[in-house]
Amino acid sequence: MDKKELNQTNPFLPEPGRIVRLYPLTDDVRFFQVRIADMDKALSFRYRAGQFAMVSILGAGEAPFSISSTPSRPGLLEFCIRHVGTVTNALFRLKENDLVGLRGPYGNGFPVEKMKGKDILIVMGGLGAAPLRSVLLYCLDNRDQFGRVILLHGAKRPAEMIFREEFFDLKKRDDLECYLAVDEDDTGKWNDNVGVVTTLFPMIKGIDPKNTYSMVCGPPIMYKFVLKELVKLDIPKDQILMTLERRMKCGVGKCGHCAIDYIYTCLDGPVFTYWDVIHMRELI
């Protein structure tokens, strides 16, 4: 793997990163585009879709966030961050040009090498768009290396659909099958599907299950129903990948906060196969 951590001598030392773009994606989610301040490190920073970074802010602490940008466009790191508590509260007080600390990249990420030549089915709900946008953009930037690319994206309401405008644009591509849905249209202006994300499955035709890798991320309730649909499609369980969140502290397999039995989710995850999850139900 071409992974290179920012500070290889001391993995806990954050590297300063400057916020170059910052804007709201929904009422409680913001988009942060960050450039590692040291230009050499910014350009040599390599990660894989599905990995995460620890983002810190002096005096407030640090927290793990999925890298939402694609490794195929190096130099800038993007995050979608939901405002929930102490660290995210401090991050939401920042403005463009302010500094954050960065450690990483951490976790296993998606096995994109194995996925080459295969069809790709991405199913995202709510903030699940954060890690899956990275792999989606990676597949689109390397379009000739994959078969069909299919995206199902669900949100509660139109205003809560993260990267709404970006996905409307992607819908115009003829090399991506993109289906969007909201549970409820409270605007009267939504011209797409209304219903939970699983109502989009009947729109996908002619899946070749053995040749398909599926990736899923969303709220915990979504997994149960989406996994049922994927199994119905006959996609092998080791080709169904999901990215899961656990409480994490160090991100590097030292503190034990993320451990379930012998698995450290910061090292062995956050990407797991359905096969892994069946054997370790506590993962979800």
Contacts with ligand FAD by CB under 6 A lie at 52, 63-66, 80-82, 84-88, 127, 130, 245-248, 270
Quote the least distance from Cβ 61 to ligand FES, whole Å: 14
Which option in ligand FAD, ligand FES, none does residue 86 bind, with CB closer than 5 to 8 A by kind? ligand FAD
Contact call for residue 249 and ligand FES (CB under 6 A): yes
127 binds, among ligand FES, ligand FAD, none (CB under 5 to 8 A by kind): ligand FAD
Q: Which does 41 bind (CB under 5 to 8 A by kind): ligand FAD, ligand FES, none?
A: none
Contact segment (CB under 6 A) with ligand FES among 16-24, 82-90, 143-151, 256-264 equals 256-264
Shortest reach from residue 6's CB to ligand FAD, in Å: 17
The DSSP-derived string for 94-112 is --TT-EEEEEEEES----H
- Residue 253 as a binder of ligand FES (CB under 6 A): the answer is yes
Distance, C-alpha 260 to centroid of its chain = 22
CA 95/CA 174 separation, integer angstroms = 37
Selection from ligand FES, ligand FAD, none that 56 binds (CB < 5 to 8 A by kind) is none
User: According to CB under 6 A, which residues from 136 to 195 bind ligand FES?
Assistant: none
Q: How far is the CB of 260 from ligand FES (least distance, A)?
A: 10
For residues 84-103, which are near ligand FES according to CB under 6 A?
Answer: none
Whole-number Å distance between alpha carbons of 150 and 143? 12
Nearer to ligand FAD, 135 or 207 (CB): 135
**In which residue are the tokens 């591509």 written?**
173
Residue 264 interacts with which of ligand FAD, ligand FES, none, CB < 5 to 8 Å by class: ligand FES
Query: How far, in Å, are 13, 102, 124, 137 from residue 134 at the CA level?
Result: 25, 18, 12, 5
Q: What is the C-alpha separation between 164 and 185, in angstroms, rounded? A: 14
Say which entry of ligand FES, ligand FAD, none residue 181 contacts (CB below 5 to 8 A, set by partner kind).
Answer: none
> Helix, strand, or coil here: 220?
helix
When CB distances are held under 5 to 8 angstroms depending on the partner's kind, the choice from ligand FAD, ligand FES, none that residue 251 binds is ligand FES
Three-class DSSP category at 258: coil
Counting contacts by CB under 6 A, is residue 226 touching ligand FES?
Answer: no
Among 257, 260, 263, 273, binds ligand FES (CB under 6 A): 257
Bond into 105 cis (ω within 30): yes
* 85 contacts: CB under 8 Å, gap ≥ 6: none
- Name 61's Cβ contacts closer than 8 Å, sequence gap at least 6: 86, 87, 90
Closest separation in Å from C-beta 56 to ligand FAD: 11
**218 in helix, strand or coil?**
coil
Residue 19 near residue 101, CB atoms below 8 Å: no
Nearest one of 126, 129, 77, 124 to 105, comparing CA atoms: 77
Residue corresponding to tokens 């069946």: 278
The footprint of ligand FES (CB under 6 A) covers 248-251, 253-258, 264, 266
